Amino acid sequence: MRFTRWLAVPAALLLAVPALAADLVYPPGSRIGLAPPTGVVTSKNFFGFEDREHSVAIVLTALPAEAFAEIEWTANAETLGRQGVVLDQTEPVSIAAGKAFLVTGHQDADNMRFRKYLQVVSTPGLTALVTVQVPENADASYPDAAVRAALASVAVRDAVPVEEQLSLLPFEVADLSGFKIAGMLPGRAVMLSDSGSDARSSAEPHIVIAIAPGAPAQTGDREAFAREVFATIPNIRDIRVTNAEPLRLSGQPGHQIMANATDPVNGAEVTVVQWLRFGGGAFLHVVGVAPAAGWAQAYPRFRAVRDGVVPK
């Protein structure tokens, strides 16, 4: 994994101002926050802040903890040049969040020159990458000193509150049935498990709830569609379907498939259930997986989660 990989997403999206700890703002779902300047708002398109009128943005990216050393080693003029950025300087910075360094440069694009900032912060749980873009015509509103002050306020919280994570979904999950959030795809899906780990281990029950556009309008086409969707479930093999039938879920048409399978990593026996609920030009996709020996205890919990899912 090279520096260009870490840089690619922030550079594609690609502010800031005087910062006080009391002014820290964490974009919904982000563990990284800072004190944003007057004039920027929380972005609805990425984790960060933007002033769209002036083409100013702060992009906050959480990377694995080990990414810090890789970026520190490869953040040089040659690597930045491949991204179209001319390096001005690299310097260590002192901030409360952890060891950090700041890369500054500039880039010419769309008949305009942009100031570029890339601050990288090492914390025990993650590497915080903060990418800033300020066009020359916004210098008066966002001078260099103001940008640096905002970057100095970068903070990392231990975790995103459960309620905040769930608020990013297009549906409500009224009953977690004792599960913890293990993974999140904002606006699309959530994974729950007993430990809160995203390992998808066959040793513990886990359930995934997602919503996706499209579904057959005709009742007769739904079973074939359900089987096609079931075939995309990862991390199971040797599938033996034990039940496949239409049913009503929360008053809407749905479909259920149950099967026995094995974990491809360790060969453990698991039981799988898939529920689809159709309506409104989309379908709700719920998949529960549990060790075969613990299925009797897991199944009622899966149903409780399923029945508590309500579209927003």
CATH of the domain at 295: 3.40.1000.10
Same domain (yes/no): 222, 237: yes
Same domain, 57 and 94: yes
Asked whether the predicted pLDDT for residue 201 surpasses 70, the reply is: no
Please, what is the end-to-end C-alpha distance for the chain in angstroms? 39
Q: In this structure, what are the phi and psi dihedrals at residue 205, rounded to the nearest 5 degrees?
A: -65, 145
Counting the structural domains of the chain, the total is 2
**pLDDT band per the 50, 70, 90 thresholds, residue 230:** very high
Confidence of residue 202 (pLDDT cuts 50, 70, 90): low
* Domain extent at residue 197: 162-311
Same domain flag for 146 and 171: no
**Domain shared by 245 and 181, yes or no:** yes
Instruction: Provide the strand spans (E) within 25-173.
Output: 32-33, 41-42, 48-51, 56-63, 86-95, 98-109, 112-122, 127-135, 155-156, 171-173
Q: What are the structure tokens assigned to 303, written together?
A: 């149903």
Confidence of residue 103 (pLDDT cuts 50, 70, 90): very high
Q: What is the largest CA-CA distance in the chain?
A: 67
Average pLDDT over residues 86-93: 94
Residue 18 in this model has a pLDDT that exceeds 70 = no
Q: Note whether 225 and 143 are same-domain residues.
A: no
Q: Are residues 112 and 21 in the same domain?
A: yes
CA distance 245 to 171: 25
Whether 109 and 182 share a structural domain = no
Is residue 267 pLDDT above 50, yes or no?
A: yes
Measured distance CA(290)–CA(241) in Å, rounded: 15
The whole-number pLDDT of residue 93 equals: 95
**131, 156, 181: which is the final residue of a domain?**
156
The closest alpha carbon to 85, from 60, 56, 59, 117, belongs to: 117
21 pLDDT above the threshold of 60: no
Give the per-residue pLDDT at 199. 55
Q: Are residues 204 and 113 in the same domain?
A: no
Are 128 and 185 members of one domain?
A: no
Q: Are residues 189 and 307 in the same domain?
A: yes
Is residue 151 located within the same domain as residue 21? Answer: yes
pLDDT for residue 183:
84
Q: What is the mean pLDDT of residues 227-234?
A: 95
Choose one of 139, 156, 173: the last residue of a domain: 156
Same domain, 44 and 148: yes
Q: What is the pLDDT of residue 37?
A: 85
Inter-residue contact 221 to 227 (CB < 8 Å): no
Q: Domain boundary at 112, 134, 156, which? A: 156
CA nearest to 96, candidates 152, 58, 149, 48: 152
Distances (CA, A) of 174 to 29, 55, 177, 193, 247: 19, 39, 9, 16, 21
By C-alpha distance, which of 111, 162, 132 is closest to 56? 132
- pLDDT band per the 50, 70, 90 thresholds, residue 83: confident
